[in-house]
Amino acid sequence: MQEILSTIDTGTIEWSRAQFALTAIYHWLFVPLTLGLAVIMGIMETCYYRTKNVFWRDVTKFWQKLFGINFAMGVATGIILEFEFGTNWSNYSWFVGDIFGAPLAIEGIVAFFMESTFVAVMFFGWKKVSAGFHLAATWLTGLGATISAWWILVANAWMQNPVGCEFNPDTMRNEMVSFADVALSPFAVDKFCHTVISAWIIGAVFTVAVSGWYLMKRREIPLAKASMKIGAIVGIVAAMGAAITGHHSAYSVAQVQPMKLAAMEALYNGGTDQSLTGIALINPFEQPDYANQEEPELKIAVPYALSFLATNDLHGYVPGINDIIKGGYTNADGEVEPSLEEKIERGQLAINALAAYRQAKKDGADEATLTSYLSTLSSNMKYFGYGYIRSVDQVVPFIPINFYAFRMMVGMGCLLILFFAVILFFVYRKDIARAPKWLYLSALAMILLSYIASECGWLVAEFGRQPWTIQDMLPTWVSVSHLQSSSVMITFFIFLALFTTLLAVELSILVKQIKKGPEYEAQV
């Protein structure tokens, strides 16, 4: 990369990536709890609305307090994320802004206003609006957050699978040609379902863990029992839903991002009848020698499972990293996949044809010359982004992060199904208020583990996409803003210090609020 970029500081690229990753990781600490608690609060308030039992109102208010503390941090970190597309990825913002800007604008108009309007009613409107209006406000707050997730995930899915657009050589950017293809792409639908359902798990784990802590301390027992029941039901439904949608997501990845799947699996050499690696030994700190190694050491695998995951066929063909580099296999579109070398060559042809077209137009060249350049550009446009690549190694994501993050996410997901099943067993078959202490402690531990699983999901999604900001279209080093690395480094550390401090404050407030417990207006 260094040899081709003479005016962009490579530090700017790395610090910009680090800053975006930092903001996204922090943002994703707060958003899933917001989405998950919104569902749980909604169910509790619906119980209040239907039964008129003030106990449910007190329970709802308690969880709303915790929701509010967390919500503020989600909002604070979210604003930075949106504007970072412009501040740190300005070239990206122009090159695909015609498509990418639309979901962000719709998110603001449709989702954020709904969220911000009704969240105020939810917190401060208990004595100011009717019970029905308040219930609607609580659900609409959650709906607003979920619609917001929809549009931001549409935007993210488009980066992974750019559809519904065409390149315009006269404006030098990609332009939207089908809104439906962008907004309703199967990749976006899978991503939304998997991400939002996994967020419900976080809300459920949090509810169960806090309730478990109360039961362990022998206090707030009615609230804890009621909350644990709702949390565990939401949790097990969501955990099983996440497994199903996870399979769909993996299938989508296999179709449009085979290199990501190969990195997730550390699949160096693919083929038919591929097994899914359960565990293997890979040095977590360096890229493995995939070109010369047959497969990772100490590999334990489930036969045929990867073929099924990637193709819905036990005997399906799954390309490995070396297969993708060499090409020559039949891809998901039924075409023979070119080698990476050929893609790079064709990408350079596209970029050179574009430059020649622009120059010829300035020089007033005749129509035939312009058409000839456009024809070359059009036939190679699919590989435009590869024109910026100088070596095939640049196209292989960092395997250890993808490999381990994927395993941690899936492993925790399975553990969560088991966890919620055990909780429900105690809720329905035993007395959850008298469950063994280890169950309550394991619920507390599950908070950390579920967050790790959730963040791992994002690590797989984003590290697996490297080096692309937009798959096959634009690598990170062409997407960045023209800034000094020192500027981005300073803002990185400002955000790191600020978000870490605020996270510490939030955790401290949450703990105090939980220790303080609910305020009952009802007799319990």
Partner 1 sequence: MTYEFLQQYWWFLVSLLGALLVFLMFVQGANSLVWSLGATETERRLIVNSTGRKWEFTFTTLVTFGGAFFASFPLFYSTSFGGAYWLWMLILLSFVLQAVSYEFQNKLGNLLGARTFQLMLIINGFMGPLLLGGAVATFFEGSNFIVEKDKITDMASPVISQWANASHGLDALLNPWVLVLGVAVFFLARILGILYVINNVNDENIRSRTSGSLVWATICFLLLFVTYLVHLLLKDGYAYNADGLILVEPNKYLNNFLSMWYLLVVLLVGVILVLYGIIKEIVKGKSSNRKSIWPVGIGVVLTVLALLLCAGWNHTAYYPSTADLQSSLTIANSCSSEFTLRTMAIVSLLIPFVLAYIIVAWRKIDKKKLDKDEIVNDEAY
**Near partner 1 in 448-487, by CB under 8 A:** 478, 480-484, 487
Question: With respect to partner 1, which residue has the nearer C-beta, 162 or 296?
Answer: 162
447 contact partners, CB below 8 Å, separation of at least 6:
205, 206, 209
Residues 403-432 that bind partner 1 (CB under 8 A): none
Whether the CB-CB separation of 190 and 245 falls below 8 Å is answered with: yes
Cβ atoms within 10 Å of 64's Cβ, excluding its own: 22
Which residue of 331, 372, 378, 513 would you call a contact of partner 1, by CB under 8 A?
Answer: 513
Q: Give me the sign of the Cα torsion angle 379, 381, 383, 388.
A: positive
Nearer Cβ to partner 1, position 75 or 301?
75
Mark 170-199 as b/e (b = at least 16 C-beta within 10 Å).
eeebbebeeeebbbebebbbbbbbbbbbbb
Q: Does 500 bind partner 1 (CB under 8 A)?
A: no
φ/ψ region of 358 (left if φ > 0, alpha if ψ in -120 to 50, else beta) reads alpha
Q: Six-digit token pair at 456?
A: 């791992």
DSSP readout, 453-489?
A: HHHHHHHHHHHTTTTEEETTTEEHHHHS-S--HHHHH
Residue from 85, 139, 192, 290 in contact with partner 1 (CB under 8 A): 85
Which residues pair with residue 176 across a beta bridge?
165
Q: Judged by CB, which is closer to partner 1: 76, or 447?
A: 76
Q: Which of 9, 82, 295, 345 binds partner 1 (CB under 8 A)?
A: 82
Binders in 173-202 for partner 1, by CB under 8 A: 173, 175-177, 179
E strands, 126-205, in order? 165-168, 173-176
Among 11, 54, 87, 394, binds partner 1 (CB under 8 A): 87
Nearest approach, Cβ of residue 3 and partner 1 (Å): 10
- Verify binding: residue 509, partner 1, rule CB under 8 A: yes
Contact in structure between 296 and 267 (CB atoms under 8 Å): no
Of the candidate spans 284-292, 294-302, 394-402, 496-504, the one that interacts with partner 1 by CB under 8 A turns out to be 496-504
**Is residue 4 near partner 1 by the rule CB under 8 A?**
yes
State in angstroms the smallest separation of the CB of 490 from partner 1.
Answer: 9
Within 88-107, which residues bind partner 1 (CB under 8 A)?
A: 88-91, 93-95, 97-102, 104-107
Report which DSSP code applies to 269.
S
Q: How far is CA 488 from the centre of its chain?
A: 23
Residue with smaller CB distance to partner 1, 111 or 209 = 111
Residue nearer to partner 1 on the CB measure, 253 or 473: 473
Site for partner 1 in 305-344 (CB under 8 A): none
| Distance in angstroms (rounded) separating the CA atoms of residues 337 and 5 | 29
| Site residue total, partner 1 (CB under 8 A) | 97
The sign of the CA dihedral 213, 234, 202, 446 is positive
Residue 243 interacts with partner 1 (CB under 8 A): yes or no: no
Sites for partner 1 among residues 270-309 (CB under 8 A): none
User: Binding of partner 1 at residue 8 (CB under 8 A)?
Assistant: yes
Selected range binding partner 1 among 42-50, 252-260, 272-280, 349-357, rule: CB under 8 A: 349-357
Nearer Cβ to partner 1 (95/406): 95
